[in-house]
C-alpha cells in the first residue's frame, strides 16, 4: 500500500515488489479502479429461504449462507489494466482457477476488456477445478455445476482443457458433457495433497500442467 501511494500506480508498485523479492513473473491487477463484488443469493436469510437478496463484498460473498445465483461487479463495466490484457493476448496458455468460484475465479470474466482478451487470445485455456465445494459459496456444487455457472457468466468463452482430480469427480460422464459444452476436454490427474485436506499439492499440480501443456499444444518460449 505504501508503494502504491508513493508511486501512484498499482502496476509499477507490484513490479517493484517483484524485483525486491526476486520473483519470477508478474502479478497484475485486473482493473485499476475500486471494485465491489455483489451477489444475488437465494435464502441468504434462513427465515426467508425463497427470497433473493443482494450480498455485497468479496469476503461476505465467499462465506454467504444460501445459494449464490449470480455475481456482478460495481461498476458494471470497469476498465481493465492494459498490462493484464496484453499478458493474456501474449500468452501461450491461460490458466483459470483453482480458487473461490464466485468471489475469485468468475470476477475476472466480468471485466469486459479482460473477457474480450480471454476470448480473442490465441493462447490455449485450461480451467482447474477445485477439489471440493466451498462451504457457503458453492455448498453442494458438483464439478459439472462449477462449469455451468461459469458458462452462464461468460457464455462466449471457450476452454481447451478442464483439469480435475479424479477422486473429486464422482460422475465423469456428466463432467465430460459439461466440459464439451465449453469446447473443452477433461484431464484427470492426482493433484490433491495426501493429507486429506481439499488443497492442491503444488508439485503435483505443476506436473499436471506440464503434461497438459505438452499434450495439447507446443510450449512457446518462456516470457
Per-residue model confidence as pLDDT tens digits over 8-38:
788 888 889 999 999 989 999 999 899 999 9
Work out the burial of residue 197: count CB atoms within 10 Å of its CB; fewer than 13 is exposed, 13-18 middle, 19 or more buried: exposed
> 133 in the Ramachandran plot: left (φ > 0), alpha (ψ -120 to 50) or beta?
beta
pLDDT above 90 for 174: yes
Q: Residue 102 in contact with residue 61, Cβ under 8 Å?
A: yes
Per-residue model confidence as pLDDT tens digits over 65-108:
989 999 999 999 999 999 999 999 999 999 999 999 999 999 99
* Mean predicted lDDT score pLDDT of the chain: 92
Residues ≥6 apart with Cβ < 8 Å to 171: 142, 143, 144
Q: Residue 218 in contact with residue 212, Cβ under 8 Å?
A: no
Residues ≥6 apart with Cβ < 8 Å to 33: 75, 78, 79
Phi, psi of 30, deg, nearest 5? -80, -25
Position 219 confidence tier, pLDDT thresholds 50, 70, 90? very low
- The angle, 0 to 180 degrees and rounded to 10, between the axes of the packed helices 143-153 and 172-181 is 10
Q: Within 13 Å of residue 222, how many CA atoms lie on the same side as its CB?
A: 3
How far apart are the C-alpha atoms of 72 and 59, rounded to whole Å? Answer: 14
Residue corresponding to grid cell 462465506: 63
Biggest CA-to-CA distance, the chain? 56
Amino acid at each position: 500500500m505504501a508503494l502504491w501511494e508513493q508511486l501512484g500506480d498499482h502496476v509499477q508498485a507490484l513490479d517493484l515488489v517483484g524485483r525486491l523479492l526476486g520473483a519470477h513473473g508478474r502479478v497484475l491487477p485486473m482493473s485499476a479502479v475500486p471494485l465491489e463484488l455483489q451477489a444475488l443469493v437465494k435464502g441468504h436469510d434462513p427465515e426467508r429461504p425463497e427470497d433473493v437478496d443482494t450480498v455485497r463484498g468479496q469476503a461476505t460473498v465467499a462465506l454467504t449462507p444460501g445459494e449464490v445465483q449470480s455475481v456482478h461487479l460495481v461498476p458494471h463495466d470497469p476498465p481493465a489494466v492494459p498490462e493484464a490484457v496484453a499478458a493474456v493476448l501474449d500468452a501461450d496458455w491461460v490458466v483459470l482457477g483453482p480458487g473461490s468460484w464466485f468471489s475469485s475465479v468468475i470476477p475476472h470474466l466480468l471485466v469486459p476488456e479482460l473477457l474480450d482478451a480471454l476470448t480473442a487470445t490465441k493462447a490455449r485455456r485450461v480451467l482447474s477445478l477445485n477439489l471440493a465445494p466451498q462451504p457457503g459459496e458453492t455448498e453442494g456444487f458438483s464439478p459439472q455445476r462449477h462449469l455451468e455457472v461459469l458458462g452462464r457468466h461468460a457464455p462466449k468463452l471457450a476452454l481447451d482443457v478442464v483439469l480435475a482430480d479424479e477422486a473429486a469427480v464422482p460422475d465423469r460422464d456428466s463432467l465430460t458433457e459439461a466440459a464439451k459444452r465449453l469446447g473443452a476436454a477433461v484431464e484427470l490427474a492426482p493433484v490433491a495433497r495426501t493429507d486429506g485436506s481439499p488443497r492442491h499439492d503444488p508439485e503435483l499440480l505443476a506436473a499436471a500442467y506440464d503434461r497438459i501443456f505438452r499434450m495439447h499444444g507446443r510450449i512457446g518460449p518462456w516470457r
